[in-house]
Amino acid sequence: MCRNIKTLFNFDPPATTDEVMASSIQFVRKLSGFNKPSKANEEAFNLAIERVAAAAQEMLNTLVTNAPPRDREVEAARAKERAAIRFGG
C-alpha cells in the first residue's frame, strides 16, 4: 500500500483539508501508476483526486469512535521508533 498515506482519523486537531488532499493524490497516483499524468489524462486524474478527497473527507466527518483522540506528536514519535527498528538508526 502507499506508505505516504497517513491515518487521518481520530486526531486532535482533526485532519486538515490539505492532509486529506495529499492522501488523495497519493491514492490516485498509486491506482493510476502515474506520478504526473500526460496532458491527455490530466483532467481525469484531477477529477479522480477531487472525488477521492471528497469521499475521504465525508468518511472522516461521519466516522465515530469511543477512543480518545490521538496526539500527532506522540504518533510521530512512535512512527520514528518503528522506522529506526525497521531500517536501523
Q: Where do the domains of the chain lie?
A: 17-87
pLDDT (tens digit, 9 = 90+) per residue, 28-79?
Answer: 999 999 999 999 999 999 999 999 999 999 999 999 999 999 998 998 899 8
Residues 6/19, Cβ–Cβ less than 8 Å: yes
Closest CA to 52 of 40, 60, 42: 60
Q: Decide if pLDDT at 4 tops 90.
A: no
Question: 70 phi and psi, to 5 degrees?
Answer: -85, 150
Q: What is the pLDDT of residue 81?
A: 94
Q: What is the pLDDT of residue 15?
A: 92
- Mean pLDDT, the chain, whole residue set: 92
83 alpha-carbon distance from chain centroid: 18
